[in-house]
Amino acid sequence: MSKNRFDLDEERLATTDEHGHRVYLHPEDVQGPWKNRRQIVYWFLIGLYLILPWIYIKGKPALLVDIFNREFTFIGFTFYGVDPILFFLIAISSLFFIAFMTSLFGRVWCGWGCPQTVFIQALFMKIETFFEGSPRERRALELAPMSFSKFTKKALKWIVFTIISLHIAHTFIGYFVGPRELFYMTMQNPINHVGMFIATMIISAIFLLDFGWFREQFCIIACPYGRMQSVMMDENSLVIAYDVARGEPRRGTAGVTKEGEGDCINCYNCVKVCPTGIDIRRGTQLECIACTNCIDACDEIMIKIKKPKGLIRYASETEVQGQKRKIITPRSIVYLVIVLFFISSIAVFLNKSSNLQLILMRGKETYVQRGDEITNRFELKINHQGNRNYKLVLESSDKEVDVITPVSPIVINTHEKRSILFFRFKTSALKSGTKKITIQFFDQLTKTYVANKEVVLVGPVL
Ligand code: SF4
Ligand code: SF4
């Protein structure tokens, strides 16, 4: 049996009891420079998240992922007809960028940028403290039988949690439909937009349950990044580390005199403030989200006992063992090369996409013959991803073939345009029933040829 509840069991998580049931954590509040820095970052990120969709550049939100129209807008640049390849390239390069950052700085994302940490630490924990009091009072409230006072505190807390979750979820949806459209929809009867209404309610419920109740359980058992981080890190990665050589043997170790003790006074403050309930003195663990709470908690103790700060600090395993940390390692180089490869692929893809994409689709009838004249009918689909306009005139590379369009020039100022093409020629132009030609697309605005396309025409085999 443990001497106190912070002297954690070696065999099980701090968030489960001996029966496997969840132990709800009430981490102590902490003050210190690392917490102050994180609060600034958190509020900056929350502000950015809430404001970004409302910033309009060139008439469009600064960030808009319009799935329904396959449009992606980022700070004034809109990419139309975005295909899944671009999303795949962005997703995979982001993953490897996170892997690269993890190989250098450990779980810096979890502690400083993950929405889970940001919203819980900056908002939900503060609201909980406001309604239910300090960690000790919250623990007492949890154990107390239901009463009017307990019911009122819990109800008020969950009402505020719900309002905030709804707001976070609406902002999230705003990134996909645009904030003005979302505002317009919310002013109407939900029946008019039932699909969007259900999606928003489901996302709100997920945020509410996760930020309000599930919390550290998500980091410990559900987050795929948390599971994979050990693969991305090595002994040179920056982690929150306890300096074993300096701290041990800790106070109270059997058979150790006061003079022989290390700097750790075994106050458990680093454990009390940990949002995932771990003891960092046992080494780097999967459950550590690098929130820096234990650094501030331990530094406060070190100041009180007049010892140097940094018994728990940002350091690599090699540094804690007294060696020099290699910042650039083969692992980080490999990740960086992969990231650069995918970013280059995105640049190539976007550059290619900014040109006209021309797709020719043959009509239902292979060909129509009138006397010795053959007609092939095609549909021309033009994807236009850039911002400039075109006035296209189509020319055949073969003088024996006429290209006929219902309208000439074809004016392109939208991201997608369709037109009908007819190719007319004499049967004598065919060889073995086919004829290959190239059509050239001449832009009257710039007086240049902007594209060409090969077409195989067909007719009777004579
Ligand atoms: S061990 Fe320290 S840095 Fe890691 S989650 Fe706990 S308090 Fe945060
Ligand atoms: S806060 Fe520092 S001194 Fe206290 S138990 Fe943790 S490592 Fe030891």
- pLDDT tens for 259-269 read 999 999 999 99
DSSP string, 58-81: TTEESEEEETTTTEEEETTEEETT
Pocket test for ligand 2, best of 266, 300, 302 (most atoms within 8 A of CB): 266
pLDDT at 200: 95
Q: What is the mean pLDDT of residues 299-327?
A: 94
Contacts of 448 (CB under 8 A, 6+ apart): 442
On whether the CB atoms of residues 261 and 251 are closer than 8 A, the answer is yes
Closest residue to atom 3 of ligand 2, CA basis: 264
**Residues flanking ligand 2, CB < 6 Å:** 242, 247, 264-270, 281, 297-298, 301, 311-312
Pocket test for ligand 1, best of 15, 117, 272, 288 (most atoms within 8 A of CB): 288
Closest residue to atom 6 of ligand 1, CA basis: 274
Task: Annotate 234-272 with b (16+ C-beta within 10 A) or e (fewer).
Answer: bbbbbbbbbbbeebeebeeeeeeeeeebbbbbbbbbbbb
66 CA to middle of ligand 2, Å?
A: 50
Which residue bears the tokens 């600064």? 62
CA 229, CA 156: separation in Å to the nearest integer? 38
Q: Which ligand is nearest to the CA of 112?
A: 1
Closest CA to 388 of 419, 413, 411, 352: 413
Task: Indicate which atom in ligand 1 lies nearest the CA of residue 287.
Answer: 5
Residue 457, strand partner residues: 435
pLDDT at 355: 66
Average pLDDT, the chain: 89
Contacts of 361 (CB under 8 A, 6+ apart): 378, 379, 380, 381
pLDDT at 384: 75
Which domains, and CATH codes, for the chain? 33-82+114-231 (no CATH), 234-320 (no CATH), 356-458 (2.60.40.10)
Task: Give the three-class secondary structure for 256.
Answer: coil
pLDDT at 381: 83
Task: Indicate which atom in ligand 1 lies nearest the CA of residue 27.
Answer: 7
Q: What is the mean pLDDT of residues 24-46?
A: 95
On whether the CB atoms of residues 203 and 169 are closer than 8 A, the answer is yes
Q: Confidence band (pLDDT; 50, 70, 90) for 346? A: confident
Quote the pTM value.
Answer: 0.78
pLDDT at residue 11 is higher than 80: no
294 CA to middle of ligand 2, Å?
A: 8
301 CA to middle of ligand 2, Å?
A: 7
Residues shown for the chain = 462
Going through 119-174 in order, the beta strands assigned E by DSSP cover none
Q: What is the mean pLDDT of residues 30-40?
A: 96
**Composition of the chain by helix, strand, coil, percent to 5:** 45, 20, 35
Contacts of 71 (CB under 8 A, 6+ apart): 64, 78, 79, 80, 81, 82, 415
pLDDT at 83: 65
CA 284, CA 297: separation in Å to the nearest integer? 17
312 CA to middle of ligand 2, Å?
A: 8
Q: Which ligand is nearest to the CA of 14?
A: 1
Q: Confidence band (pLDDT; 50, 70, 90) for 127? A: very high
User: In terms of C-beta density within 10 A (0-12 exposed, 13-18 middle, 19 or more buried), how is residue 229 classed?
Assistant: buried
Pocket test for ligand 1, best of 112, 274, 279, 281 (most atoms within 8 A of CB): 274
82-112 pLDDT per residue, tens: 667 777 888 899 989 989 999 989 889 999 9
Closest CA to 428 of 394, 401, 390, 454: 401
